[in-house]
Amino acid sequence: MLNMGLLGYVVDNYVMLYELIGMIGILGISTLLSSRMKRLTIWIVALLLFESVIFKLEALTQVPDHLIIFRPLLTATLYSLYPVILMLLILLTETDEFSKKNLFFAIPWAVCVPVFFSSQWTRIVCWYSQDNHYFAGPLKSLPYYLFGFYVLIFLVQNFRFFRGYSRINRTIARYIIVGAVFGVLLYILLEVDRDYSAIFTASVLLYYVLVYIHMAKMDPLTSLPNRQSYYLDLKLDTHIISGVISIDMNELQALNDSLGHEYGDMALVVVAGVLKHHCPRNCTVYRVGGDEFMIICRKLNETDIRSAIAFMRESLVHTSYVCAFGYAMCGTGVSVQEAVKLADARMIEDKAVLKQNARR
């Protein structure tokens, strides 16, 4: 009987097991992801496997004509696991190891878990009769509301994470998230008694691939999109690019020569942070060379771009570093490639002015 149950579990979950084991293998040879992201992914994989086992065991407890006390405990465990998996997925796009915000997000789950596990006796969510029949309580929808809450947080988090990047990145992220949510909603609305773990696994695998590719497009020092990403976005977003900004950091070589490359790296990180946090919405900052940065502006007018440059200059005053800026607008007979050349030329002119002023 045990062998048949194990075989049945493998048959029912073969695709999921195949994908998860493959993901573990890929994790082992990954060089782009941080150890923190790898740990989170391993936890997600482990919980998906655990959830699928719990679902199978709960299905087996439905067969007898008398209640097995483990059934309500297994049901409560399932209700509790889905939000945990979503919380870990949310953490994948967080840069901090831990924050008070993460603790705040866990409060609804912490409140609901005791309710789920005591429901067999309180009958507040659901309960089972002695002849093993299911009965809904007054808060029967609580597990779905809790799940929906974390889906909403996940959607908001991913919107924030991908909003500064190319349209294709955002579209793929939406497809992965919305597709998984739609699949779960179909099960719920059609009252299909199916395990969600296969949907979770497929979405986690796709999401992991997206994040991995995204990391491959990032500059490891500054965490800005790299040169390859810049050229790809120029090509993909040609029709919505309204202008480009060329930026060059002054005296980086002098910093490296006098204080060492470690200090120069720190300077680049500071400058990258200022540019990233003070450029307008619908703009993306790229590190395209040693001390060279570019900003692609989408659907912004010239006044907004000029204001953004002035704001970034003002913000850099509070650091020890100076950057030269040049911009150009696209359209009205000016192609994106021509705008890039013009922005570079204006940046070089600005750099000469800054050097001349520094000598005075």
Q: What is the DSSP string of 88-119?
A: HHHHHT-SSS--HHHHHHHHHHHHHHHHHHTH
Q: What is the Cα–Cα distance from 68 to 62, expressed in whole angstroms?
A: 9
Q: Would you place residue 334 in the very low, low, confident or very high pLDDT band (cuts 50, 70, 90)?
A: confident
Q: Express as a percent the part of the chain with pLDDT over 70.
A: 90
Q: What does the pLDDT average to over 56-60? A: 86
CATH code for residues 227-359 = 3.30.70.270
Which of 67, 75, 193 lies closest to 125 in space, CA to CA?
75
User: pLDDT by residue (tens digit) across 83-95?
Assistant: 998 888 888 766 5
Backbone angles phi, psi at 31, to 5 degrees: -115, -15
Task: Give the pLDDT confidence score for residue 1 in this predicted structure.
Answer: 43
Longest dimension (CA), the chain: 93
Q: What is the Cα–Cα distance from 49 to 44, expressed in whole angstroms?
A: 9
Instruction: Determine whether 305 is exposed, middle or buried from the number of CB atoms within 10 Å of its CB (0-12, 13-18, 19+).
Output: buried
Residue 325, amino acid: F
Q: Would you place residue 220 in the very low, low, confident or very high pLDDT band (cuts 50, 70, 90)?
A: confident
Which of 345, 338, 218 lies closest to 286 in space, CA to CA?
218
Q: What is the Cα–Cα distance from 355 to 6, expressed in whole angstroms?
A: 74
Answer positive or negative: Cα dihedral of 209, 29, 95, 47: positive
User: Residue 216 is encoded by which pair of tokens?
Assistant: 């491959």
Residue spans per domain, the chain: 2-216, 227-359
Determine if residue 333 is left, alpha or beta; phi over 0 gives left, psi from -120 to 50 gives alpha, anything else beta: left
User: Residue 254 is encoded by which pair of tokens?
Assistant: 């002098």
User: Residue 67 is encoded by which pair of tokens?
Assistant: 């209640």
pLDDT at 126 > cutoff 80:
yes
What strands, in cross-sheet order, belong to the sheet with 283-287?
Answer: 283-287, 292-298, 241-249, 323-329
- The long-range contacts involving 37-41, CB below 8 angstroms and separated by at least 24 positions, are 37/92, 37/211, 40/88, 40/91, 40/92, 41/92, 41/204, 41/208
pLDDT at 166 > cutoff 70:
no
Task: Give the pLDDT confidence score for residue 127 in this predicted structure.
Answer: 93
The answer to whether 156 and 141 are in contact (CB under 8 A) is no
pLDDT at 68 > cutoff 80:
yes
pLDDT at 69 > cutoff 70:
yes
Q: What does the pLDDT average to over 137-154? A: 88
User: Residue 314 is encoded by which pair of tokens?
Assistant: 């003002």
Task: Give the pLDDT confidence score for residue 154 in this predicted structure.
Answer: 80
Q: Mean of the per-residue pLDDT values for the chain? A: 83
Which of 176, 175, 149 lies closest to 82 in space, CA to CA?
149
Task: Give the pLDDT confidence score for residue 5 in this predicted structure.
Answer: 63
Residue the block writes with tokens 């004509």 = 65
Task: Give the pLDDT confidence score for residue 94 in this predicted structure.
Answer: 67
Determine if residue 167 is left, alpha or beta; phi over 0 gives left, psi from -120 to 50 gives alpha, anything else beta: alpha
Q: What is the Cα–Cα distance from 64 to 282, expressed in whole angstroms?
A: 59
Q: Is 223 helix (H, G, I), strand (E, B) or coil?
A: coil
pLDDT at 2 > cutoff 60:
no
**Residue partners of 355: CB distance under 8 A and separation at least 6:** 250
User: pLDDT by residue (tens digit) across 180-202?
Assistant: 778 877 877 777 666 677 777 77
First to last CA, the chain: 89
Q: Is 279 helix (H, G, I), strand (E, B) or coil?
A: coil
Q: Would you place residue 37 in the very low, low, confident or very high pLDDT band (cuts 50, 70, 90)?
A: confident
Of residues 40 and 257, which shows the higher confidence score?
A: 40
pLDDT at 359 > cutoff 70:
no
Residue the block writes with tokens 């006796």 = 121
pLDDT at 266 > cutoff 70:
yes
Of residues 190 and 108, which shows the higher confidence score?
A: 108
Task: Give the pLDDT confidence score for residue 101 in this predicted structure.
Answer: 66
Q: Express as a percent the part of the chain with pLDDT over 90.
A: 28
